[in-house]
Chains A and B, each alone.
Chain A
Amino acid sequence: MRRMLNDIGLSSIDELFKDIPASIQSKAAMDIPATMSEMETRRHVEGLLEKNISTREMLSFLGAGIWPHYVPAAVDAIISRGEFLTSYTPYQPEISQGMLQAMFEYQSLICELTGMDYSNSSMYDWSTALGEAARMTARVTGRDEFIVPHFIHPERLSTLRTFCEPVGIKLIEVEQDTHTGAMNLTDLRKKISHNTAGVYLEYPSFLGFVEENCDEIAKSVHKEGGVFVVGSEPISLGVLKPPGEFGADVVVGEGQPLGSHMNYGGPLLGIFACKGDALLRQMPGRIIGKTTTQDGQQDAYCMALQTREQHIRREKATSNICTNEALLAVAASTYLSLLGPKGITELCSTILDRTKYATKRLRELPGIEAPKFSAFHFMEFTVNFDKAGRKVADINERLLDAGIQGGLDLSGYFPELGQTALYCFTEVHSHKDIDMLADKLRQVMEG
């Protein structure tokens, strides 16, 4: 250090900071802990983490936007590679081909799953992707109303509001049938007008039921010139008709189930895909394109359509997004490549089997209605305790005492559903696990 200082004609480090006015120079040291060795730090941090109880240590039936799945070891191995992990945004494409190609593959895979033409290379999460989608529909149509279903994920709705309110997009709620969950088409047609920028459907819904009148909804939206936005959990699209086949113009979703861990809420992976050139030009976020070298000799990849982005367009950009979730997109590409068409079909079959088995076992319990909606469900369903006269909060406390984390309490979000919880069943839950849940629930209900 001394040598470097001498080399540039300085005698102390302080000279490099002398331009900071004395009045704002920090006199005291920062009020944070002192340096620790790597071993001490690790012991301390791991000691704190030890206080957590992970879903590997207790049965958990929570989903609701972040879902428990097995992550193949190969996925973590790939995304731990320093070349991917410690790289920045691929501003210099010649030295960043690996990340760029992986992003291109991610975009292609998302388009296969969703039936869309184009995908960007990631957003922060489903909720912010939805916020950006609503704003995009308003930009494309020049209109200011965005229609959302009643049983939307409440945190997604709140995020959507934060994204829409400052630019004057009004959110209008459309009814969903309290018995089947189906979107009320009469109500929808009443609310769609020449002011409608877009209509949003969750497919599968937040509560696990799957809308079956998608074609009709698409027709109603398009008749008035609106944009049809569909939000999906991507694994379900291994077995469900892709939104692109029933008229969706934009698909958003949460890519966490594609090879990323739950991580107490993040990082997550926002999926954002669309159809048609008009929407492509208004799409937020980074998009990677395949091209060649200038001499035409080699295939190569680089960022495309950058004139939509903030580093070029500043306040006129389609979005302010810069840092995204690239590494989770690499995980998604690896995951989907490992599964392939056969693997994703197997996974969906397993999830459907667990959903069905859990429905059967929980229905056997007196006082429990499962699911609350009579519809086809994927992976998640509502469990109602009204007939037993019990509160979800109380049941969940007792389940936890028995080593089980119950489903998400919905009573605060949707009071009209009474004492209802949202349960999630994936491939990580064996029949035995579900039997255990049923047994403990029976004991809790009897106790």
Chain B
Amino acid sequence: MRGLVYSQARWDEPPIIELSEEGKIGFHQLQTTELKDSLASVPAGIRRSSPPRLPEVSEIEVVRHYTRLSQENFGVDLGIYPLGSCTMKYNPKVCDAVASSHKIQEIHPYQNPRTVQGILQILYETSTYLAKIVGMDKVTLQPAAGAHGEYTGVMLMRAYHRDKGESKRDEVIVPDSAHGTNPASAAMAGYKVVEVPSNAEGCVDKDALKNAVGPNTAGLMITNPNTLGIFEREIVDIAEIVHDAGGLLYYDGANLNAIMGKAKPGDMGFDIVHINLHKTFATPHGGGGPGAGPVGVTRHLSDYLPVPTVEYDGTKYYLEYNRPKSIGKIRAFHGSSAVVLRAYTYILLHGKEGLKTASEVAVLNANYMAQKLCKIKGFSLPFGEGVPRKHEFVLSAATLTKETGVTALQVGKRLLDFGVHPPTVYFPLIVEEAMMTEPTETVSKQELDSMINAFEKISQEAYAGSDLPKTSPHSTSVTRIDEAKANRPKTMQLTWKMAIKGS
């Protein structure tokens, strides 16, 4: 079966400092001028006594070292990556190609606007397109990540209430199925976090919400579809409950890939929306970042957006700093332009029809996979029986664990042997032995089938009492890792200096 054989490189590559040999260098800056004197010009009191202990290696050694490390890393370019809520879709190469031009790379953010009209137009149009896609009135592109967008959004909420003389509103409500960043972002902005439970369908419990809202409510943070992949059907009522209490509705855009062209957060009643460009708009996630988390708002919140905004006066594009009600800066400069440029390219490449199709196929793939997987022995699809999922679904391995002792984590580790990146495990917290799975639209039926086969095989192994799931992975660069050792104060090694001391 295709995709069931996998063998990751095993280089046993030491930390690069261990490759160091005195006198070697990988890159020379030096031109011809005599430079000795310039070092002596540093006042003795602030001069470094000896150069930093960086590795001394040649260029080819550096290239080999990091190329080998790359081979010990799994990415979308290598195989299926159905990490729930992360939308690990294919990142079209043309988006990287346009971003490798010196016309973006070698541009300084403080250049005179007349020398950067091209990128300003791209920023302006991207924010316009994103606003249309989510149904908001104005978008800032500045936040560096989803969580940064959340912080920005909650700060906007705060500025709005203060401006209305309602600074006593000090609570933000989040469902118990929310992404961890939601409560963390609200807390960072000084809010008390109030959790509301999910009902039997896995959606927000309206009665619980009614009890939770009040004169202290600043807003509700929610994703729709939620982390179970279920569309919150009562979202209009939910919005009304929150708005009637004087609160605002915040949309966590991590799950936007489910609804492009099908429904807009703006039409559902949301006031603030963040969008993850590194998810829905396919900018490569780089092993943890960069990303970008633009934030869109409705008209009554646009005055509070961070400075600067990108504007167009009919003849030229410019940065506007004069916004007296703005929350100020949320980062230095104007945003991760190279990430935005990739998303802009992605949007144009797909267009209105292509983005809608992307969402449709993402949802079809998720439902196909969910239906197949929940029929495999040991797995189930809790909550929302008979309700179609959207872009993702949460499988439970609870039965498998109970009957065979094989846990969701172990299923995940065993999947690695087949060259399949596991789903997000143990999230959301409301599902036992959760496996949150998001195949995305860029996975073919063949790939879905081979992934389904892998689950089937693991179930058979578990019920046959095979050791394999419990001892996996076997095909990766390393076998199961001792994570406890990495956290014990006596054995913790967070730098190579500590590693040398420890050994």
Contacts and interface: CB of A to CB of B under 8 A. Distances in A.
A77 interface: yes
A167 B35 CA distance: 49
A88 B288 contact: yes
B78 A36 contact: no
Given A125-B144, A212-B45, A323-B147, A52 B285 contact: no
A82 B480 contact: no
Nearest to A393: B112
A55 B473 contact: no
Contacts of B106: 54-56, 68, 261-262
A77 B63 contact: yes
A199 interface: no
A186 interface: no
Interface in A259-318: 261-268, 277, 280, 286-305, 309-317
Interface stretch (B206-214, B231-239, B455-463): B231-239
Interface string A45-75: 1101111111110101010111010101010
Interface stretch (A20-28, A170-178, A383-391): A20-28
B104 A314 contact: no
Given A337-B16, A347-B29, A405-B108, A287 B349 contact: no
Contacts of A53: 111, 115-116
A254 B441 CA distance: 37
B495 A265 contact: no
B428 to A, nearest CB: 11
A322 B332 contact: no
A306 B344 CA distance: 34
A119 B334 CA distance: 26
A107 interface: yes
B147 A126 contact: no
A343 interface: yes
A417 interface: no
Given A58-B115, A101-B72, A290-B486, A128 B233 contact: no
A363 B88 CA distance: 55
Contacts of B299: none
A197 interface: no
A339 B51 CA distance: 11
Interface string A11-31: 001011111110111100111
B486 A289 contact: yes
A292 B499 CA distance: 12
Contacts of B363: 13, 16-17
Given A52-B119, A56-B102, A291 B329 contact: no
Contacts of A277: 489
A98 B66 CA distance: 8
A267 B287 contact: no
Contact of A25 (B110, B263, B371): B263
B108 A55 contact: yes
B63 A321 contact: no
B495 A33 contact: no
* Residue of B15, B260, B268 with most partner-chain A CB within 10 A: B15
B331 interface: yes
B99 to A, nearest CB: 8
Contact of A291 (B115, B181, B486): B486
B4 interface: no
B205 interface: no
Nearest to A34: B351
Contacts of A122: 288-289
Interface in B285-309: 285-293, 306-307
Contact of A24 (B267, B292, B388, B498): B267
A156 interface: yes
B110 A49 contact: no
Contact of B478 (A20, A72, A293, A309): A293
B482 A296 contact: yes
A41 B101 CA distance: 15
A161 B326 CA distance: 13
B118 A52 contact: yes
Given A54-B102, A264-B108, A4 B445 contact: yes
Contacts of A87: 73-76, 285-287
Which one of B46, B88, B352, B421 has the greatest number of beta carbons of chain A within 10 Å? Answer: B46
Contacts of B334: 264-266
A261 B101 CA distance: 11
B200 interface: no
Given A74-B63, A214-B46, A266-B336, A94 B476 contact: yes
Nearest to B128: A32
B65 interface: yes
B54 A324 contact: no
Given A68-B108, A95-B421, A311-B427, A41 B345 contact: yes
Contact of B261 (A10, A30, A297): A30
A183 interface: no
Given A84-B70, A97-B477, A264-B109, A291 B445 contact: no
B69 interface: yes
Nearest to A114: B52
Contacts of B111: 53, 55, 60, 62, 405
B69 A320 contact: no
A264 B107 contact: yes
Given A51-B117, A322-B146, A101 B69 contact: yes
Contacts of B12: 298-299
Given A16-B367, A376-B43, A62 B108 contact: yes
A420 to B, nearest CB: 15
A356 B41 contact: yes
Given A18-B388, A320-B150, A322-B181, A159 B495 contact: no
B77 A83 contact: yes
Contacts of A239: 39, 42, 47-48
Interface in B376-428: 387-388, 390, 412-413, 416, 421-422, 424, 427
A35 B261 CA distance: 14
A343 B231 contact: no
A5 interface: yes
Interface string B417-446: 000011010010000000000000000010
A427 interface: yes
B315 interface: no
B257 interface: no
B15 A104 contact: yes
A134 B280 CA distance: 33
Given A83-B70, A334-B62, A396-B112, A94 B478 contact: yes
Nearest to B351: A35
A266 B287 contact: no
Residue from B72, B290, B491 with most neighbouring chain A CB atoms (10 Å): B290
Contact of A107 (B72, B421, B494): B494
Contacts of B233: 19-21
Nearest to A5: B364
A266 B356 contact: no
B451 to A, nearest CB: 14
A97 B267 CA distance: 44
B261 A86 contact: no
Nearest to B30: A346
B41 A118 contact: no
A59 to B, nearest CB: 12
Contacts of B268: 24
Contacts of A297: 479
B193 interface: yes
Of B263, B329, B339, B480, most buried by chain A (CB within 10 Å of CB) is: B329
Contacts of A266: 144, 290, 331, 333-339
Given A85-B96, A101-B72, A108-B497, 10 more contacts: A20-B262, A29-B356, A33-B348, A83-B74, A86-B75, A89-B288, A93-B483, A238-B52, A337-B65, A343-B28
Pick the 9 closest A-B CB pairs, nearest first: A327-B286, A82-B77, A98-B73, A326-B288, A51-B118, A35-B351, A265-B333, A267-B290, A86-B75
13 contacts: A49-B118, A74-B27, A78-B70, A86-B284, A98-B68, A112-B53, A158-B307, A211-B46, A241-B47, A267-B144, A321-B147, A323-B147, A336-B54
